Amino acid sequence: MRRLIPLLLLAPVIWASSASQVFEIYDLQGADGRSALEVIRELAGPDSTVTADPDRDRILVVAEPDAHERIRDAMAKLRPEPLNIRIEIDMNRSGMATRSETGISGSGVYRRTDGIGSTRIELEPHILRQRDEQSGIVNQFVLTANGRTASFTIQKLVKDPLPLYQVCLRNGWIVREPPWREVTTGMMVTPLASSSTGMIRVQLTPYIADASNPGDPLRLVTLASDVVVYDGQPFRIGGFANADSEARRYLFGHAANEEREQTDISLTATIVKAGAHPDRPGERGW
């Protein structure tokens, strides 16, 4: 019975300590979730409870009132400025198709005069060289809040995604092959801008999605990268190239077809000034 006395005496102290703690919800509002979680855990103290809620972009905290004061001050600094950012993607596509053929074509005439037959054959070379070039620019833009995520479509329809899956599996970008037979590929962008410096950090995350239901994409987070750009200045972020060729040989001559396509992708992030039209984000007023 004597051993229970210290425990009974300590119980009110523990209960009183937990009763003084307060539950608060902190919306990230564009702040980086991992950074905010580390800061809040440090400020809340060892006796607090800090839980991340990434699905709703918030952090749940049970801590002392003075700890909440420190957390509120820190979150005010971690949250991005209330700005709108216009992000523009330009895809400059160029393609070339060449076709070449060489061979021999001919015609023949058989004649018979006075019991004597003769054949006359006329031959002429067949040479074809053809080259077609195409080019164009595809432009997309989105308007998003500072610190929020938007997305762009890179390839609207990939009918045979198996080669893409194999590359992703081989490099460890995905752990298993998705069940989708046709996919859409794109890029997610998250800007974080500072109006005082004019610098914008943009996080780029490629994604793959089911072409029939692109609302639940598979993010390739291992390929995510950050670029820092100046307000309104274009920046080349990458591209891709495709090539296909076919050749045939005959007894007399040959035929060859070759197709090449290249796409260069550039990004321009612009801070939208107050009252500016979205198509002219750098100008004030309508």
Q: Tell me, what's the pLDDT at 91? A: 85
Regarding whether 250 and 140 lie in a shared domain, the answer is yes
Regarding whether 31 and 88 lie in a shared domain, the answer is no
- H-helix or E-strand spanning residue 255: strand 253-272
Pairwise pLDDT comparison (227 vs 273), residue with the higher score: 227
Give CA–CA dist 185/189, Å, rounded: 14
Is pLDDT at 15 greater than 70 in this prediction? Answer: no
DSSP helix/strand/coil, 44: helix
Is pLDDT at 226 greater than 60 in this prediction? Answer: yes
How much is the average pLDDT of 150-170? Answer: 90
Domain contains 208 = yes
Domain contains 211 = yes
Transcribe 223-245 into DSSP letters. Answer: G-EEEEEETT-EEEEEEEEEEEE
How much is the average pLDDT of 151-161? Answer: 89
Structure tokens belonging to residue 19:
């009763």
Q: Tell me, what's the pLDDT at 7? A: 39
How much is the average pLDDT of 31-57? Answer: 90
CB 111 within 8 A of CB 168: no
Q: Tell me, what's the pLDDT at 10? A: 38
Give CA–CA dist 247/175, Å, rounded: 38
Query: What is the span of the domain harbouring residue 24?
Result: 4-78
Regarding whether 140 and 65 lie in a shared domain, the answer is no
Q: pLDDT grade, residue 23 (50/70/90)? A: very high
Q: Tell me, what's the pLDDT at 268? A: 94
Regarding whether 266 and 158 lie in a shared domain, the answer is yes
Q: Tell me, what's the pLDDT at 147? A: 86
Pairwise pLDDT comparison (95 vs 167), residue with the higher score: 167
Regarding whether 207 and 171 lie in a shared domain, the answer is yes
Q: Whole-prediction pTM value?
A: 0.62
Going by C-alpha positions, the residue among 274, 260, 5 that lies closest to residue 133 is 260
CB 228 within 8 A of CB 269: no
Regarding whether 150 and 268 lie in a shared domain, the answer is yes
Strand 199-210 to 225-230 pairing: antiparallel
Q: Tell me, what's the pLDDT at 60? A: 95
As beta bridge partners, residue 127 has 102
Point out the least confidently predicted range of 40-54, 198-212, 228-242, 247-261: 247-261
How much is the average pLDDT of 169-181? Answer: 91
Regarding whether 90 and 69 lie in a shared domain, the answer is no
Is pLDDT at 277 greater than 80 in this prediction? Answer: no
- pLDDT tens digits along 93-140: 888 888 887 776 666 565 666 666 666 666 677 677 788 888 888 888
Give CA–CA dist 108/99, Å, rounded: 29
Transcribe 122-181 into DSSP letters. Answer: EEEEEEEEEEEEEEEEEEEEEEEETT--EEEEEEEEES--HHHHHHHHHTTS-SS----S
Q: Tell me, what's the pLDDT at 41? A: 94
Q: Tell me, what's the pLDDT at 17? A: 47
| Residue 121: Cβ within 10 Å count | 9
Q: Tell me, what's the pLDDT at 248? A: 79
Give CA–CA dist 91/78, Å, rounded: 34
